[in-house]
Every structure is written in C-alpha cells, then in structure tokens.
Amino acid sequence: MELCKLDVGLEKYIYLDPETNFWAYADVSEEKDVLRLFKDVRDELLKEMLKCRFEVRIRTVYLNVTDRCNANCPYCYIPEYRRKNGVTMKKEELYSYLNEFLEKGVEWVIFHGAEPMIAKNLIFDAMDDFSELKFGVQTNGFLLEEEDVKFLINRGVNIGISFDSPYREVEDFLRGKGHYDKVMEVLEFCGGYDRFSVITTINKYNFTHLDKMVDLLAGKVPVLLMNIVRGTSETGRVLRVDASEQFIKAVERAINHTKNGRRIVIGDFANYLLGILAPSARVLQCDVSPCGAGRRFISLATDGFYPCSEFVGLKEFRVKDFDSAVKTFENVRNRTVEKIEECRDCPLRNICGSPCPAEVYSEYGTFFKKSPSCDYYKRVIEHAFRVLVRGDYKYILKMENLKEKFSWV
C-alpha cells in the first residue's frame, strides 16, 4: 500500500491516496503512522467513494423550456442558431414531462436555458401547479422584475443569476447592454435571500476582475460560482485563459471578507475542499468522475433529452424519451479518469475529475482526453490543500448551507 507524496509548498508533505482521497499532512518521519491509519480506514473509504462516483440516480432535471435567448454572450455553449430561431415548449408538453418526472422520482427541476424568463408565465404556472417538485431558475436576469423575485422567494425557488464583471463596460460587452445595471437591481430585489447565487464565467476579458467581483458581492450573495469558460464552442475556446492565480486571489479575498463578517463562498472552491474532506458530500458534480451528467441529473430541451445542458449543441447525444436517455447516457457515464491516459496516474484525479466531457468531445471528437484546463485545476486543488492545512476551510464550508443551496445535484 502506497500513498502519493505531494509538495504543495508547505513545510510538510501531503500524503494522498487517489482512490479514496484519504490524505494526511505529514513529514517523512511520520510516514509509517500515516500508512497504518490508512490501512485501517481504506476499505470503508473506498466503498463510500465508489458509491458516490458510480451511483445512478436522476434527482434533477435541467429544463430548457425555450431555445430562445434575449442576449448573445460570446462563449455560450447553446448554439446561436438555436437561440435565435428556436421554439418554446407548449404548456401541455411541459406538464406532461413534469408529471412523468414526478413518477420517476425526480425531485428538482431547474429552469435553465437559453433564457427561461422569456417563458416566465409558463414556468411560474408550472411552479404553482407542481408544488410537489422543488424548483430553481438560472437566468441572465434581464426580464426579472421585483414582483417576479417576490413570487420566487415566496415559493422558496433557488435563483441563479449570471454576472461576469464588476466593471459596467466589460459586463455590458460580455452579457449585453444594460446588464450591469439590471444585475444591480436584482441584487437589491434578492437582498438577504439565502437561495440566491451568482455564476461568473471566467474568460479572458474578466479573469483579472475576480477579486473585485468578490468585493462587490460579499455580504450580498451567499454563493458565487466562478466557472472557467468551457471550450464547447469555437468562441468558447478562443476565450479560455489560465486564471488560476486570479482565482486563488479571489478565494483569499472571499476568506477575508467572511472573517470580517461579510460572508461569501466561492462554490467551486468549496467543492474541492469537500472532494478532499468528504467526497460523497460534494454538491457540484463536474469534478466527480464520472461527472453527474446522465447519472445524477439530465437535461431536457425542446427537442429531447441530453446528458447535461453543455451537450445541447451536440445532436448526436439527443434521445427522445426519459428511460432510454438514462440508459443511453451510459456512454457519458463511461468516461472515468481511469480511462483517460493522461489522468490515469494523476494523484488529483478524484478531486479534479477532468471535466468536462462535452467540452473535451467538442474539441477532440473523443471523451478520452484530459481536460483542456488541467493546469488550472491542479493549481487550484493544490491551494485547496494549503487552505485546509492552515485551517481556513471553516470560513468556506458551512456545509448545511451549501447542501441546502445545491441539494438538487
């Protein structure tokens, strides 16, 4: 039995077992004790890890009621022809799907898109008529008015807003004219609501703004997801950037604000900490291998089912009905880090997960290549170990909050 020995720039080493994510901070003289402890707990940890990696249970549907969007973000993984010419589901069609989901044990429906608020009357009716389901809405916010927010808050709906830069000029360039001002308004509407989150898509126009973004949102937004742009489309690939240094700076800024009473959690980083401390408590599923696509969640668009929203531009993955979709998406569930040559022996493989299959497939025509953002993930995960060792994880992980917030995955 051997453990990987990682030097993350601290006094001692990180001893890590990549199969179970058992880890210890120790020096060479303590190695034997660490190994003894590992031997005692290995089987139990492995059992838990295999369950959380391979269990197939669709609890969540990301539902694109419309293909259409009122914006045109340059990196969007939904193809432009769909956003410009697409259709919107009819009420009977949507209701028939929602009835089926209830029968199949789905618990969460997240209205996603393209832009779900274009069909706000339809989705609000559905929220009223299917009170057995839990709902979320991920929106650019352009069409979100104060009474809409009140409606959503009254029903305990999770609200996610996209917001890329604390600078008006950059925000309006990336997300559409007037977006910055609209987001400022939405922040006021949602003030104090704990089921509120923001997604920042990191790209080459905003990666130097991440710390300022944290400054702006601290104390106002409980969870901020800072996702590196995926190269699912050519335009996405052009906007990719190695932002590890800036992301780490943003993480440190968030920790400082939280220490000073203006709490904010960067969800992606929190998920890495969970991957190391308690892998089966991970909330986001992109860094689990295989990821959650077609395993923990599924995506429904106007023309059928896809493993995840990021696949919506890839017609070859479309399946017509729910049961066949879950079966067919074994193709995506088969993409494990063990099957990727560059990842197979990587010590961080079960913390990173080598995301994302849709991105890798779009770029290389195969699932079995490592993530194009490999270096970024390595640096960020090494930092996660440093934060753990110095004890600052307690300013990030408020487990109950995170679990509640993202309990749909």
Handedness of CA 183, 186, 188, 191 (dihedral sign): negative
- 75 touches ligand SAM by CB under 6 A: yes
Instruction: Tell me the number of residues near ligand SF4 by CB under 6 A.
Output: 24
The one segment of 31-39, 113-121, 184-192, 388-396 that binds ligand SF4 by CB under 6 A: 113-121
Which residue do the tokens 């769909």 mark? 82
Could you tell which of ligand SAM, ligand SF4, none binds residue 138, using a CB distance below 5 to 8 A set by kind? Answer: ligand SAM
Could you tell which of ligand SAM, ligand SF4, none binds residue 89, using a CB distance below 5 to 8 A set by kind? Answer: none
Q: Which two tokens stand for residue 313?
A: 């531009």
From CA 70, how far away is CA 75, in angstroms rounded? 15
Q: To the nearest whole angstrom, how small is the minimum distance from the Cβ of residue 140 to ligand SF4?
A: 4
- 88 touches ligand SAM by CB under 6 A: no
Give the residue with the Cβ less far from ligand SAM, 140 or 350. Answer: 140
The one segment of 49-57, 222-230, 291-299, 371-379 that binds ligand SF4 by CB under 6 A: 371-379
From CA 76, how far away is CA 203, in angstroms rounded? 12
- 377 touches ligand SF4 by CB under 6 A: yes
From CA 343, how far away is CA 371, in angstroms rounded? 9
- 78 touches ligand SF4 by CB under 6 A: yes
Could you tell which of ligand SF4, ligand SAM, none binds residue 203, using a CB distance below 5 to 8 A set by kind? Answer: none
Which residue do the tokens 């949507």 mark? 94
CA angle 131, 124, 311 (to 5 degrees): 95
- 348 touches ligand SF4 by CB under 6 A: yes
- 267 touches ligand SAM by CB under 6 A: no
Q: To the nearest whole angstrom, how small is the minimum distance from the Cβ of residue 42 to ligand SAM?
A: 36
The one segment of 23-31, 34-42, 73-81, 101-109 that binds ligand SF4 by CB under 6 A: 73-81
- 186 touches ligand SF4 by CB under 6 A: no
* Options 114, 126, 319, 388; binder of ligand SF4; rule CB under 6 A: 114
Q: If 0-12 CB within 10 Å is exposed, 13-18 middle and 19+ buried, where does residue 125 land?
A: middle
Q: To the nearest whole angstrom, how small is the minimum distance from the Cβ of residue 21 to ligand SF4?
A: 12
* Options 21, 53, 98, 115; binder of ligand SF4; rule CB under 6 A: 115
Rounded to a whole number of angstroms, the distance between the first and last alpha carbons of the chain is 33
* Options 30, 125, 342, 404; binder of ligand SF4; rule CB under 6 A: 342
The one segment of 69-77, 120-128, 266-274, 380-388 that binds ligand SAM by CB under 6 A: 69-77
From CA 166, how far away is CA 196, in angstroms rounded? 18
Task: Enumerate residues 102-121 that contact ligand SAM by CB under 6 A.
Answer: 112-115
* Options 354, 392, 393, 405; binder of ligand SF4; rule CB under 6 A: 354
Q: Which residues bind ligand SAM (CB under 6 A)?
A: 69, 73, 75-78, 112-115, 138-140, 162, 199, 201, 227, 229-230, 232, 236
Contacting positions for ligand SF4 (CB under 6 A): 69, 71-73, 76, 78, 83, 113-115, 140, 337, 342-343, 346, 348-349, 352, 354, 370-371, 374, 377-378
